[in-house]
Each structure stands twice: as C-alpha cells, then as structure tokens.
Amino acid sequence: MPELVFHFDGADMRFQRDKYMIYEPEEGLFCSAIVGTDGLSILGNYQQQDMHILYDLKANVLSFVPANCDRF
C-alpha cells in the first residue's frame, strides 16, 4: 500500500501503512484506521504514534517530526 500524505500549508505529514491500516490476520484483511466525520476533522492518536507534535498557540503554528518513541 502506498504512503499516506496529509498536505498542510507549508508541510506534508507522511504515514507508512502501519499508521493508517490495521491488519486482521484471522481474516487476512486490512482495515482503515481512519474514519470519516461530518464537519471537524481529527488527527487520531493512532496516526500520532511515533511523532513529536508541537502546537504553538502564540505563533499559530503546528509542527511535527517522525520519532522513535520506544527508544530513549
């Protein structure tokens, strides 16, 4: 499956398959870990795993970088 990319003004947030698809081995199926909503969009905690995310409210800026959070 291809990489998933969210396009923001000034940056692209890229996700590998394991951050947006869940494998169900008993059925041999992949399921989307992203669901649609009416109105407000939410970046889920499944996609935020292994990401350092900073919300700078004063500057009105969102920044993010991939991280290996299971390492010290």
The pLDDT of residue 58 is: 95
Strand partners for 29: 24
β strands within 1-72, DSSP E? 4-8, 11-15, 21-24, 29-32, 51-56, 61-66
**Residue at 71 is within a domain:** no
Residues with Cβ within 8 Å of 38's Cβ and at least 6 positions away in sequence, in order, are: none
Print the domain residue range for 9: 4-36+44-66
Number of folded domains in the chain? 1
pLDDT of residue 48: 82
Assigned domain for 13 exists: yes
Half-sphere exposure of 31 (CA within 13 A, CB side): 9
Query: What pLDDT does 72 receive?
Result: 59
In a domain, 48, yes or no: yes
What is the tens place of the pLDDT at every residue in 13-68?
Answer: 888 888 888 889 999 999 888 877 788 777 777 788 888 888 899 998 888 888 88
Furthest-apart CA atoms within the chain: distance in Å = 48
User: Is 72 within a domain?
Assistant: no
